[in-house]
Amino acid sequence: MKKIFATAAIVAAILNAASAFGQSANFKLGKWLETHRAVISELTNSYVDTLPIDRMNRAGIDAMLEQLDPYTEFVPEEEVEDFQMNINRVYGGIGAIIYKPDKEGNVIINEPYEGSPAVRFGLQCGDEIMEIDGVSTHGLDAAQCSERMKGKPGTVVKFKVKKVYTNEIKDIDVTRERIHLPDIEYAGMLDDTTGYISQTKFTENVSKTLKDKYLDLKKQGMKRFILDLRSNGGGLMSEAIKIVSLFVPKGSLVVSQKGRDPKDDASYTTVSEPIDTVTPIAILVDGGTASSSEIVSGALQDLDRAVIMGRRTYGKGLVQIIKRLPYNNQLKVTIAKYYTPSGRCVQAIDYSKRNEDGSVGYIPDSLTHEFKTLKLGRSVRDGGGITPDVTLPPYSYSRLVYSLVMNGIIEQYALKYVAEHQSIAPLDDYHFTDYEDFVAYAKDKKFDYRSSAMALFDQMKKDIEKDGLQEKASEAMEALKKALDIEKEEFLRMKQDEIVPYIEEEIVTRYYYQPAGVKIRLRYDKQLPTALSADWTVK
């Protein structure tokens, strides 16, 4: 029953918070709470079967929170550890991504992290783990194997390993450590004067890491700097503020937040001296740039400190905090909206107004407002993410590539490749040249290889049959199918130029670790040349 009480505690918290709405809102919530308790009481006393309390509790809470924004969520006690790991990207373990192709087979070391315990104690990509602490991996799924590998830092996990190149069976003991998945994927010089940092998240101490990497790039001769926040979904607001602090004068406003409760209102300014206020900065953004990434890009745009390049960002202008609940449950709740220094809120979706079907829509451009940057008075707008100063060409991938990636075909091929090649050329010289080998491998794998046009054709065929028009349209449909239908091997060869970069990235990552994969992505990045040749002047 304790989970029912946890539900009641959440409702009670909402009830207390509703006082600002006035008596009518309080009355409605009180009425709902009383009804909820009555329903539970009657079900407990009268229902014919035993109540599935856990499922009812979770389903009820989730359904209630679905009426709000997607960032307000209930975290039950048993999920708190994983929840914190997702936020902080920290866990106790060996530092390797694993792959379990067959539940009854061995677990494979897929991607060990550079400098991790896995690497230092002798594990490498392609090694097969047969036992973990004396327990066979046969019959365990990937999640169960991963859980057995994790543990308190300083403790030892014992593996029985089949080595990838010799097939030798070895016992390898690995001492677990505190593993912090890096937020900085890669830092390096793109040319003689342009420094580059790719940042994927905003977890604890990323600002210090970025500062150290930046200063190192300056020592290498950097005269201008690219911060790549594409597909960075955000994280800690505090780290975003510290990153902005590196590049603007002390005391500059970075972000403010306003909630329904005045105690949630706050303004945040830089509190430390900057390291560089003059080096030109370009920030790369796209539709996956969200939250703290938008705080950084929005602040540096409003303060006329950086040129924003790319595509319009996601538009998440909501602030969440963690509230503790009874029985070690937690509630991540949205308490405020944040505003950039010019006063604009980037939130693009209006969750407070729903359509009759429960869906929500984007704020139309006609309802956005104009604001001015603080130094040069440039026009910027709210309500739709961060609009870049320089628009970069969009990048898109064929349906075939998405299918190969989502079904793990390229990843699995990379493991096969590693098992057959003990070494490859140095990173800067490496190019994948065995494409026919990949085609031979992929053609025997099950995945949806239809083109976008063929997928639309199949849907259209269903609609035609549903409307009873198949006889009338049969001749035209047959001709269209003949034009669109293509064999798997032929389509794979047709998309070679699009697929090879993904193969190269997966392969080099397994020999030279994750930063090498970023270098391969940069090799084929279609937006980067435009960004490098663009006007970086803030004007």
DSSP 20: G
Instruction: With beta carbons less than 8 A apart as the criterion, state whether 423 and 517 touch.
Output: no
Does residue 52 sit in the same domain as residue 22? yes
* Greatest alpha-carbon span in the chain: 77
Pair 245, 375 in one domain: yes
**pLDDT of the residue at 384:** 87
Instruction: List per-residue pLDDT tens for the chain, 539 residues long.
Output: 445 445 545 555 555 555 545 557 778 888 888 888 898 889 989 989 998 988 888 999 999 999 899 999 999 988 888 888 888 889 999 999 999 998 999 999 999 999 999 999 999 999 999 999 999 999 999 999 999 999 999 999 999 999 999 999 999 999 999 999 999 999 999 999 999 999 999 999 999 999 999 999 999 999 999 999 999 999 999 999 999 999 999 999 999 999 999 999 999 999 899 999 999 999 999 999 999 999 999 999 999 999 999 999 999 999 999 999 999 999 999 999 999 999 999 999 988 877 777 778 888 888 889 999 999 999 999 988 999 999 999 988 899 999 999 999 999 999 999 999 999 999 999 999 999 999 999 999 999 999 999 999 999 999 999 999 988 899 999 999 999 989 999 999 999 999 999 999 999 999 999 999 999 999 999 999 999 999 999 98
Residue 12's pLDDT is what? 52
Please check whether residues 229 and 358 belong to one and the same domain.
Answer: yes
Residue with tokens 């069976």: 169
Output the CA angle 152-155-157, nearest 5 degrees. 105
Q: Are residues 368 and 308 in the same domain?
A: yes
What range defines the domain where residue 525 resides? Answer: 399-451+486-530
CA distances from 375 to 129, 300, 359, 378, 539 (A): 59, 11, 39, 8, 10
Residue that finishes a domain, picked among 132, 162, 180: 180
Instruction: Tell me what pLDDT residue 352 has.
Output: 81
Give the pLDDT of residue 1: 46
End-to-end CA distance of the chain: 62
Give me the helices (H) in 248-382, please. Answer: 292-302
Q: Are residues 222 and 95 in the same domain?
A: no
Please report the pLDDT score of residue 215 as a whole number. Answer: 98
Same domain, 213 and 358: yes
Same domain, 163 and 293: no
Number of domains in the chain: 4
Judge contact between 201 and 235, C-beta under 8 A. yes
- Compute the distance between CA of residue 498 and CA of residue 260 in angstroms, rounded to an integer: 49
- Does residue 241 lie in a domain region? yes
Q: Note whether 418 and 379 are same-domain residues.
A: no
Q: Is residue 474 part of a domain?
A: no
**Residue 142 structure tokens:** 């990937």
* Residue where a domain terminates, one of 345, 364, 392: 392
Distances (CA, A) of 247 to 215, 252, 289, 306, 307: 12, 10, 20, 9, 13
Q: How many CB atoms lie under 10 A from the CB of residue 29?
A: 19
The answer to whether residues 228 and 164 belong to one domain is: no
Residue 96: per-residue pLDDT? 96
C-alpha distances in angstroms, 406 versus 395, 411, 483, 491? 18, 10, 27, 17
The dihedral over CA atoms of 110, 115, 118, 124, expressed in degrees to the nearest 10, equals: 50
179 and 97 in contact (C-beta within 8 Å)? Answer: no
Q: Which of 361, 266, 250 is nearest to 319 (CA)?
A: 266
In this prediction, residue 157 carries a pLDDT of 98
pLDDT at res. 301: 98
Among 392, 418, 442, residue at a domain's last position: 392
Give the per-residue SS3 of 446-491.
CCCCCCHHHHHHHHHHHHHHHCCCHHHHHHHHHHHHHHHCCCHHHH
Q: Which residues of 133-172 are buried (b: 16+ CB within 10 A; e: fewer)?
A: eeeebeebebebbbebbbbeeeeebebbbbbbeeeeeeeb
**Claim to verify: residue 250 and residue 382 sit in the same structural domain:** yes
Catalogue the long-range contacts made by 149-157 (C-beta closer than 8 Å, 24 or more residues apart): 149/93, 149/94, 149/96, 149/98, 150/91, 150/92, 150/93, 150/176, 151/92, 151/93, 151/176, 152/92, 152/176, 153/92, 153/177, 153/178, 155/92, 157/94, 157/132, 157/133
Write the single-letter amino acid at 89: R
Asked, for residue 261, whether it belongs to a domain, the answer is yes
pLDDT at 30: 84
Question: In this structure, is residue 537 part of a structural domain?
Answer: no
Closest CA to 375 of 308, 271, 302, 277: 302
Q: Write down how long the chain is.
A: 539
